[in-house]
Amino acid sequence: MKRLTIVCLLGIYLVYPAFGLDLSNYLKEKSAQSDKEFLKEFPYQLYLKEVSLKDVNSLEKQRKILNKNKRDGDKFLYLLCQHYIENIDKDVQSLNNLLHLSQAYLDFDSNSEDGMVYEILGNMIMEEVVHQTESQIKEGTLSKNDRDVKDMIAVLKEHQFIINVPQSDWEKLTYHVSQGNWIYISDRMYKEIGIGLVPLLMIFLLGFSLVVWYRKSIFKASKNFTKSF
């Protein structure tokens, strides 16, 4: 029993070295598997402790090793990124890190056949950042007025990714005032408070006129009172 345990531990060490997972050894160990089984059972989380997703050159070497061993290196990278995204926090810092990662992929040589893989990965990650940012702004866990969030939105916009977030009533009002959409404003005011824009302006002007008349009356009365002395 003791000898069997030692043999098993030795086998695990050969496939999963103390410092992480050795891809070449793992490929030899799983050579009998189909590509589908290999990709499904691969220990992605363990491998992520060994590699840096930001190191595109290193990832490219691993991809080529996989392809050489008749494995789908492109799909492997896709699944590796998916596992990374699923297992990290989704706070502002983590989303910023994802954004920087996607930019590193998009900056890779997109003119080459190999570069197309990283362009797809970069766009996939940006879509995830958009999804997470939109969801958290709507839920209230992120503020679109936060400086870091504004910076993320600006970077995403540069890459043609738009964050769709609801505008506040004040933002809507200032926008439509700047555009001169008075009919829209009147309609919204009628729906919200039951008074259209024109009646509201008339009420405002009437109130303003009454205030002016009252102030003039006070001033005139004060002046007549002074003269009586």
Question: Distance between CA 17 and CA 2 in Å, rounded?
Answer: 21
pLDDT for the residue numbered 130: 93
For all residues of the chain together, what is the average pLDDT? 78
Q: Is the pLDDT of residue 10 over 50?
A: no
Pick the range with the lowest mean pLDDT from 146-150, 155-159, 176-180.
176-180
pLDDT tens for 148-158 read: 999 999 999 99
What angle do the packed helices 147-158 and 92-106 form, to 10 degrees? 20
Q: Determine contact, residues 99/132, Cβ cutoff 8 Å.
A: no
Q: Is the pLDDT of residue 51 over 60?
A: yes
pLDDT for the residue numbered 189: 59
With bands split at pLDDT 50, 70 and 90, how would you rate the model's confidence at 80?
A: very high
> Which own/partner contact pairs does 79-82 have at CB distance under 8 Å and 24+ positions apart?
79/39, 79/42, 79/44, 80/44, 80/47, 80/48, 80/53, 81/53, 81/121, 81/124, 81/125
pLDDT tens for 102-114 read: 999 988 865 566 7
- Which backbone phi and psi does 20 adopt, to 5 degrees? 145, -150
Question: Which tokens hold the place of 69?
Answer: 């061993």
pLDDT tens for 67-77 read: 999 999 999 99
Q: Determine contact, residues 71/45, Cβ cutoff 8 Å.
A: no
